[in-house]
Amino acid sequence: MEKKLFSLILIALLAGLGGGYGLGYVIYQPQIQNLQSDLKQLNDELETINSEITNLNSTINSEIANLNSTIVNLENKTWHFVTNFTLSSEERVSQLFFVQGETWRIKWKLAQAWGSGTHFIVWDENGNGIYYSEDVSIYTYMSPYRNATATHYMPYGKGTYYITVDYGAYTVDFTIESYH
């Protein structure tokens, strides 16, 4: 009898364990699968975010390098000679000249003048007038002396230009410089 009782208890215990395991599996398996699915989805999202962060870091590093290069370029800019020429009542139009920088300047010196002086006009290579100077005369700048001078800054950028002068009897020396 003891053997039968012992066998019965053992069978009941094994059946309980098997049933409990089966019941636990049936109850908890869907939750485990949902948790595994959520974990995989979170892992995928984390990989996407890490990829985006890597791309942003790359973009930021590239922009920092560009800014550093710009700063170096700005720090190294200086005035560079482009050309010089003389215009007079006999020769009123300069040759074309190319400006490399975004800013450039015209330095002029009125060497001789007889009468009222003149104006000069800056033209782009297409013949569009882009700058008209005030009166360039010894009366305006250093009356009554000769050799009046001035500098005009041109924010018109890189390009090909030429200069003409208007009326009057004069000789004006021009020097063109580019800032780059």
Is the per-residue pLDDT at 145 higher than 70?
Answer: no
Does 177 score more than 90 pLDDT? yes
Supply the pLDDT for residue 141. 47
In this predicted model, what pLDDT tens digit does every residue of 29-53 receive, in sequence order? Answer: 788 788 888 888 988 888 999 889 8
Confidence label for 14 from pLDDT (cuts 50, 70 and 90): confident
Q: Quick one: how far is CA 65 from the chain centroid?
A: 11
Confidence of residue 144 (pLDDT cuts 50, 70, 90): very low
Check whether 135 has a pLDDT greater than 70. no
pLDDT attached to residue 95: 95
Strands 169-179, 103-114: parallel, antiparallel or unpaired by DSSP? antiparallel
Q: What is the pLDDT of residues 82-112, one digit of tens each?
A: 999 998 878 889 999 999 999 999 998 877 6
Q: What is the DSSP string of 19-74?
A: HHHHHHHHHHHHHHHHHHHHHHHHHHHHHHHHHHHHHHHHHHHHHHHHHHHHHHHH
Q: 3-class SS at 122?
A: strand
Q: What is the pLDDT of residue 116?
A: 57
What is the rounded average pLDDT for all residues in the chain? 81
Confidence of residue 66 (pLDDT cuts 50, 70, 90): confident
**135 versus 143: which is more confidently predicted?**
135
